[in-house]
Amino acid sequence: MEEQTQQEQASPEVHKRIRTSFDRQGLMSHLGARLTHIAPGRVHIVLPSRPEVTQQHGYFHAGATSAIADSAGGYAAFTLFPENTDVLTVEYKINLLAPAVGDHMEAVGTVLKYGRTLTVCQLEVFGVQDGRRKLVANGQQTLIQVIKPEQ
* Other beta carbons within 10 Å of 55: 14
**What does residue 148 show for φ and ψ, rounded to 5 degrees?**
-70, 130
For residues 109 and 130, what is the distance between their CA atoms, to the nearest angstrom? 22
> Pattern of binders to a copy of itself over 82-121, x per CB under 8 A?
------xxxxxxxxxxx-------------xx---xx-x-
- The CB-of-40 to a copy of itself minimum distance in angstroms stands at 19
Q: Which of 1, 2, 26, 83 binds a copy of itself (CB under 8 A)?
A: 26
H/E element, 74: helix 62-78
Q: How far is it, in rounded angstroms, from Cα 22 to Cα 10? A: 15
Q: Which of residues 84 and 117 has its CB atom nearest to a copy of itself in the complex? A: 117
Interatomic CA distance for residues 78 and 65, integer angstroms: 20
> Which of positions 115-144 make contact with a copy of itself (CB under 8 A)?
117-118, 120, 122, 135, 138-140, 142, 144
Q: Which residues of the chain form contacts with a copy of itself (CB under 8 A)?
A: 21-22, 24-28, 30-31, 50-57, 61-64, 66-68, 70-71, 88-98, 112-113, 117-118, 120, 122, 135, 138-140, 142, 144
